[in-house]
């Protein structure tokens, strides 16, 4: 059934895109900066997983045990060492620095791994499927979707129901006043970054198992994450899921009509939402 296939495709794309967006939204929410190298870090996670698997032949999902902490550490150091210097009133500096970083990472990956496309081997789960109403529905799309919902739920809970959550929100509200409570805002920013990088790792590996990837695919991921955040609404994790689903659905339908216009349909839907609902479909609600 064509509709079911489209929905399944939308769930997979939507889940993946929601994960791309969640990391971006987290960093922007706490630190008010957008990391233009966001997409390149997603790709980097894929390559990191590749390295781990070359060293120890394990399933890509198992490699996450190393990739997640490694990426989180990279995120912490990057924020603390580099990006903390440019958090502040001037919006241009973070843009230019992270853009330079994006070029740097893409080409460092190119230099190290060459431009060949790669793919992580996920084994049976990539193609296994179940039958629903006579149509075969892949397990992988469902898995991606479930993981995305889980991660978003986790972030939401973390932010609104835990101590780290209110410290993050307070730092986002007023970084100077949190210092009056003994909280080192530079450390909090770095923790937020580490958290975002952990999410990026999961997204990167899930992507790398499903599709071919190469060092130059970063910018496309950034644009996707950005469109999801705008469609879903700034400041809300569930918004990232909704935005992801909307974009995923648009692209799935586009791909169905003609694979060549998949991305274009997504962009057009994005522009439409921007025009009609500039604050997104699910803007920040609070608790």
**Torsion (CA) 21, 25, 31, 33 in degrees, nearest 10:** 60
| Number of CB atoms found within 10 A of residue 46's CB | 27
What CA–CA distance (Å, rounded) separates 278 from 26? 19
User: Residue from 57, 173, 257, 285 that binds other proteins (CB under 8 A)?
Assistant: 173
Please tell me whether residue 154 binds other proteins under the rule CB under 8 A.
Answer: no
Q: Is 20 left (phi over 0), alpha (psi -120 to 50) or beta?
A: alpha
Output 152 or 227, the one with its CB closest to other proteins: 227
Q: Six-digit token pair at 281?
A: 């479909």
Instruction: Check residue 28 for interaction with other proteins (CB under 8 A).
Output: yes
Whole-angstrom Cα distance, residue 128 to residue 140? Answer: 8
Under DSSP, the state recorded for 278 is T
Q: Given candidates 57, 77, 85, 153, which one binds other proteins under the rule CB under 8 A?
A: 85
**In the bound complex, what is the minimum distance in angstroms from residue 36's beta carbon to other proteins?**
7
- The CB-side HSE value for 173 (13 A sphere, CA atoms) comes to 10
237 in contact with other proteins (CB under 8 A): no
- DSSP run (H or E) holding 138: strand 135-138
Site for other proteins (CB under 8 A): which residue of 16, 25, 33, 120?
33
Q: Is 2 in the site for other proteins (CB under 8 A)?
A: no
Q: For residue 285, state whether it binds other proteins (rule: CB under 8 A).
A: no
Q: Does 261 bind other proteins (CB under 8 A)?
A: yes
Report how many residues bind other proteins under the rule CB under 8 A. 63
Taking the least distance from each CB to other proteins, the nearer of 133 and 182 is 182
Range 107-146, binding other proteins (CB under 8 A):
107-108, 110-111
Q: How far apart are CA 199 and CA 20, in angstroms?
A: 8
Question: Is 270 a residue that touches other proteins (CB under 8 A)?
Answer: yes
Angle between helices 2-31 and 163-173 (to 10 degrees): 70
Contact between 166 and other proteins (CB under 8 A)? yes
- Positions 93 through 112 that interact with other proteins (CB under 8 A): 93-97, 99-108, 110-111
Using rule CB under 8 A, residue 274 touches other proteins? yes
Burial 243-276 (b: 16+ CB within 10 A, else e): bbbbbbbbbbbbbeeeeeebbebbbebbeebeee
Interface with other proteins includes 246 (CB under 8 A)?
Answer: no
Kindly list the residues in this chain that would bind other proteins in the complex (CB under 8 A): 28, 33-34, 36, 82, 85-86, 91-97, 99-108, 110-111, 163, 166-167, 169-170, 172-174, 176-185, 219, 222-223, 226-227, 230, 260-261, 263-264, 267-268, 270-271, 274-275, 278, 286-287
């Amino acid at each position: 059934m064509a509709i079911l296939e489209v929905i399944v495709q939308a769930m997979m794309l939507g889940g993946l895109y929601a994960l791309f967006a969640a990391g971006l939204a987290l960093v922007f929410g706490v630190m008010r900066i957008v990391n233009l190298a966001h997409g390149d870090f997603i790709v980097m996670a894929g390559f990191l997983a590749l390295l781990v698997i070359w060293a120890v032949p394990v399933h890509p999902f198992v490699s996450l045990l190393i990739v997640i902490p490694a990426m989180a550490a990279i995120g912490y150091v990057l924020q603390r060492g580099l990006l903390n210097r440019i958090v502040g009133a001037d919006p241009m500096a973070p843009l230019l620095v992270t853009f330079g970083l994006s070029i740097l990472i893409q080409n460092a990956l190119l230099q190290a791994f060459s431009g060949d496309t790669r793919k992580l081997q996920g084994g049976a789960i990539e193609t296994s499927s179940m039958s629903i109403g006579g149509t075969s529905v892949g397990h992988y799309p469902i898995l991606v979707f479930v993981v995305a919902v889980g991660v978003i739920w986790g972030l939401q809970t973390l932010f609104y129901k835990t101590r780290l959550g209110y410290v993050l929100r307070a730092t986002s509200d007023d970084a100077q006043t949190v210092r009056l409570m003994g909280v080192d805002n530079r450390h909090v920013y770095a923790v937020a970054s580490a958290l975002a990088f952990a999410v990026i790792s999961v997204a990167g590996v899930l992507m790398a198992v499903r599709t071919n990837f190469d060092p130059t695919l970063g910018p496309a991921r950034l644009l996707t994450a950005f469109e999801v955040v705008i469609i879903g609404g700034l400041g809300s994790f569930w918004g990232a899921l909704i935005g992801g689903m909307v974009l995923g659905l648009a692209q799935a339908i586009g791909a169905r009509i003609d694979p060549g216009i998949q991305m274009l349909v997504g962009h057009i839907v994005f522009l439409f939402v921007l025009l009609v609902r500039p604050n997104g479909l699910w803007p920040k609600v609070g608790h």
